[in-house]
Structure 1
Amino acid sequence: MNFNFLSPVSDQVLAHNELLSTQALGRKLRIHSNQHGIPDLDDVDIAIIGVLENRNDVDYIGEEFQLDEIRKSFYGLFPGSWNTIVADLGDINKGESVEDTYFALKEAIVILVKKNIIPVILGGSQDLTYANYRAYDSLIPMVNIVNVDSKFNLGDSAKPIKNNSFVGKIILDQPYNLFNYATIGYQTYFNSQEEIDLMESLYFESYRLGQISNDITVVEPVLRDANIVSIDLTSLKGSEVSLKQKYSPNGLDGKEICAIARYAGISNKVTSFGIYEYKPSKDDEMTSMLVSQMLWYFIEGVNFRVKDDDFSEDRNYQKFITLVESQELVFYKSNKTGRWWIEIPFLAEVNNKLKRHTLLPCMHQDYLDACNNKVPDRWYKAFQKNSV
């Protein structure tokens, strides 16, 4: 397997790892080292890849960064009672050009996803999500992306790609493989009214910070439906992170971001997960520890995945039918996990790429709302998208 573009985990981190308890996570990982090369990937479930690329950050002024502090924090944690096998494949260094870095990341993701390994990307700037998305061109027909971010990052797609405009490129660059884009934790004052209107007109989903702080479970269905999850560390509250990482006094707190990471892990559809915009500073323990805990919760989620979205047998689910404004809504509840889905009427004349999207994850609350004659928002947006 050709991973020539990956550089091994630094000797300093490996020396630190040797001093840890034999029970620590770092002692149980398969690590890409100078001494032993790329580890054996047979039966690996999750592979961590660092990407040291930040040149498309709008504020880039030539600074380098590394991920050693995150690795030290992460290796020092203790695993849960997991059956999940995790590898750390080291880092993709900056290529000659940013496009070279994108290409290397894309190749790595394609190789891993085809082997049923979930790549976890630790990144520089969030425009790397574009390379992550492009890897799916050869993997699946339509892609759902969830971005945990205070901004929509739509930007001006006519200009070169940056970390604040990569979503515009994802929407407008061919091939068009994006089905749904959802933003979790957006803060209205960071987004222009034009962007907010555009998200609405494209029937994309957005969850405001206040909505999530009020009830974190609202994001579970959208994460259950995601293929790619991308987290921008600037979505975190300034008090939760180190000096250079501070961005806004308001944002998601540590518990909320870890819950989101766990929901992403539990989702059967999520096949790649990325954490971006890491900016190390001298007092770095806070950010690196929080990122490590997010990784921990993601792995914990993956470990507890349950296959329950197969509704071919009646005994696997209960079916509920309600009538809202003369529209029949059909809900399914999994007997195994208690999770809910709603059926989207499949329109025969619409592009066949959408065939697998006929069941949409939802909440019990959506069913209760439907019983009270209120159309669930997710269903309405998906139905409109299918009708376009």
Structure 2
Amino acid sequence: MNFNFLSPVPDFVLAHNQLLSPQALGRKLRIHSAQKGIPDLEGVTIAILGVLENRNDINYLGEEFKLNDIRKSLYALYPGSWTTTIADLGDINKGESVEDTYFALKTTIAILIKKRIIPIIIGGSQDLTYANYRAYDDLIPMVNIVSVDCSFNLGDSSKPIKNNSFVGKIILDEPYNLFNYANVGYQTYFNSQEEIDLMDKLYFESYRLGQVSKDITIVEPVMRDANMVSIDLSCVKGAEVSLNQKLSPNGLDGKEICAISRYAGISNKVSSIGIYEYKPSKDDEITSMLIAQIIWYFIEGVNFRVKDDIFLDEKSFQKFITLVDTEELVFYKSNKTGRWWIEIPFLSEVNNKLKRHTLLPCMHQDYLDACSNKVPNRWYKALQRNSL
């Protein structure tokens, strides 16, 4: 197996780890060390992967960064009642060019996903999401991305890729594998009206910060439908993070970003997650601890995954049919978890990407809305995307 791109976790971090309680998370990880090399991945469910690449940050001035403080914070936490085996594979260093780093990341993620291991990527600039997306080229036909971010990052796709324009590249670069892009927590004043209009035109989903803060549970069905998740730390409000990390007085608080990460973990579909735009400061304990807790909650979520989306046994679900105008909407509710889905019909006249009835995760509220003759927004957008 080719993991030549990976450099081990530094010895001083491992020495720090040895001083922790035997019950601490760091003492239970399989860690890539200079002494022992890459750990055995047999039985591993989750792998932590650092990427020391930030050259496509629009504000890049040649600064280097390390992830040692994040590892120290994460290792010191105590695990929950978990059954998953977790590895820390160390870091992918900067390549000769950014494209080399992308290639290394894409290759490593693809190997891990094929082995049914979920990579947690801790990165520099968020354009690494593009490499994460490209890892799926030979794995699945269509990819759903959820970005937790204050901006859409559509940018000008005719220009070289940057951390504020990588989504435009994902949409327009071949092969075209993107089915849905959903943004969670955007702040309107950080996005041009053209970008907001384009999101609508492409029938992508977007949830404003106010919507998310008012009812965090709207994020759960969005995550349940995601293959990969990208978190930009700039979505967290300035009061919650270290000096270099501060972007805006408004944003998600620590509790909200951890809840969102847990929803990503619970999703049976999410097979990779990245946390990006880490900018260390001298007073950095707060940001590194926040990232450690975001990772902790994702792992917690993975440990609570329940297979409730295979509707073959009629005893495992309830089916509800309702009429909205002339449209018959079919809902399913899992008896095991109480989670809801809505059926997207097959459009025979369209050469569509979904060759069968597809179930879209939704909320109980969507069913109540349909009963009140109101078309659920997620269902409408999915149907329109499917017709494009």
Q: Which AA in structure 1 matches 2:266? A: I
Q: Which AA in structure 1 matches 2:23? A: Q
1:40 counterpart SS class: coil
Q: Which AA in structure 1 matches 2:174? A: Q
Deviates more, 1:111-120 or 1:356-365: 356-365
Could you say which residue in structure 1 is the equivalent of 2:230?
A: 230
Q: Which AA in structure 2 matches 1:82? A: W
Q: Is 2:149 the partner of 1:145? A: no
Could you say which residue in structure 2 is the equivalent of 1:363?
A: 363
Aligned equivalents of 2:175 and 2:39: distance in 1?
34
Residues 187-226 of structure 1 correspond to what in structure 2 (within 5 A)? Answer: 187-226=187-226
Could you say which residue in structure 1 is the equivalent of 2:337?
A: 337
- Residues 345 and 356 in structure 2, CA contact (< 8 A), matched pair in contact too: no
2:323 counterpart SS class: strand
Gap runs ≥5 in structure 2: none
Query: Deviations 1:227-272 (Å, cap 9, x if unpaired)?
Result: 0100000000000000000000000000000000000000000000
- Residues 5 and 104 in structure 1, CA contact (< 8 A), matched pair in contact too: yes
Could you say which residue in structure 1 is the equivalent of 2:301?
A: 301
1:281 counterpart SS class: coil
Could you say which residue in structure 1 is the equivalent of 2:68?
A: 68
Q: Which AA in structure 1 matches 2:251? A: G
Could you say which residue in structure 2 is the equivalent of 1:373?
A: 373
Could you say which residue in structure 2 is the equivalent of 1:13?
A: 13
Aligned equivalents of 2:351 and 2:153: distance in 1?
27
Deviates more, 1:252-261 or 1:348-357: 348-357
Following superposition, the deviation at residue 351 of structure 1 comes to: 3.6
Q: Percent identity?
A: 81
Query: Deviations 1:191-213 (Å, cap 9, x if unpaired)?
Result: 00000000000000000000000
1:113 counterpart SS class: helix
Following superposition, the deviation at residue 326 of structure 1 comes to: 1.2
Query: Deviations 1:84-137 (Å, cap 9, x if unpaired)?
Result: 110000000000000000000000001000000001100000000000000100
Q: Which AA in structure 2 matches 1:332? A: Y
- Residues 50 and 121 in structure 1, CA contact (< 8 A), matched pair in contact too: yes
Aligned equivalents of 1:152 and 1:166: distance in 2?
9
Aligned equivalents of 1:27 and 1:350: distance in 2?
54
Following superposition, the deviation at residue 357 of structure 1 comes to: 7.0
Aligned equivalents of 1:328 and 1:337: distance in 2?
25
Aligned equivalents of 1:54 and 1:209: distance in 2?
26
- Residues 352 and 387 in structure 2, CA contact (< 8 A), matched pair in contact too: no
Query: Deviations 1:325-358 (Å, cap 9, x if unpaired)?
Result: 1111000000111000000111124345323671
Query: Deviations 1:283-318 (Å, cap 9, x if unpaired)?
Result: 000000000000000000000100010012211110
Aligned equivalents of 2:225 and 2:59: distance in 1?
33
Seen in structure 2, the aligned counterparts of structure 1 residues 51 and 356 have a Cα distance that, compared at 3 Å, is farther
Q: Which AA in structure 2 matches 1:255? A: K
Q: Which AA in structure 2 matches 1:250? A: N
Q: Which AA in structure 2 matches 1:155? A: G
- Residues 142 and 354 in structure 1, CA contact (< 8 A), matched pair in contact too: no
Q: Normalising to structure 1: TM-score of the pair?
A: 0.99
Q: Is 2:42 the partner of 1:34? A: no
1:157 counterpart SS class: coil
Q: Which AA in structure 1 matches 2:75? A: Y
1:355 counterpart SS class: coil
Could you say which residue in structure 2 is the equivalent of 1:386?
A: 386
Aligned equivalents of 1:384 and 1:128: distance in 2?
29
Following superposition, the deviation at residue 60 of structure 1 comes to: 0.2
Residues 48-63 of structure 1 correspond to what in structure 2 (within 5 A)? Answer: 48-63=48-63
- Residues 265 and 300 in structure 2, CA contact (< 8 A), matched pair in contact too: yes
Could you say which residue in structure 2 is the equivalent of 1:353?
A: 353
Following superposition, the deviation at residue 366 of structure 1 comes to: 0.3
Aligned equivalents of 2:350 and 2:300: distance in 1?
38
Moved over 3 A (4+): 349-353
Aligned equivalents of 1:347 and 1:375: distance in 2?
18
Seen in structure 2, the aligned counterparts of structure 1 residues 340 and 32 have a Cα distance that, compared at 3 Å, is same
Aligned equivalents of 1:28 and 1:209: distance in 2?
36
1:119 counterpart SS class: strand
Residues 79-228 of structure 1 correspond to what in structure 2 (within 5 A)? Answer: 79-228=79-228
Query: Deviations 1:17-54 (Å, cap 9, x if unpaired)?
Result: 00000000000000000010000000000000000000
Following superposition, the deviation at residue 12 of structure 1 comes to: 1.0
2:243 counterpart SS class: coil
Aligned equivalents of 1:275 and 1:35: distance in 2?
28
- Residues 148 and 184 in structure 1, CA contact (< 8 A), matched pair in contact too: yes
Aligned equivalents of 2:350 and 2:37: distance in 1?
49
Aligned equivalents of 1:64 and 1:349: distance in 2?
53
Q: Which AA in structure 2 matches 1:22? A: P
Aligned equivalents of 1:169 and 1:356: distance in 2?
29
1:136 counterpart SS class: coil
- Residues 153 and 167 in structure 2, CA contact (< 8 A), matched pair in contact too: yes
Query: Deviations 1:165-189 (Å, cap 9, x if unpaired)?
Result: 0000000000000000000000000
- Residues 221 and 361 in structure 2, CA contact (< 8 A), matched pair in contact too: yes
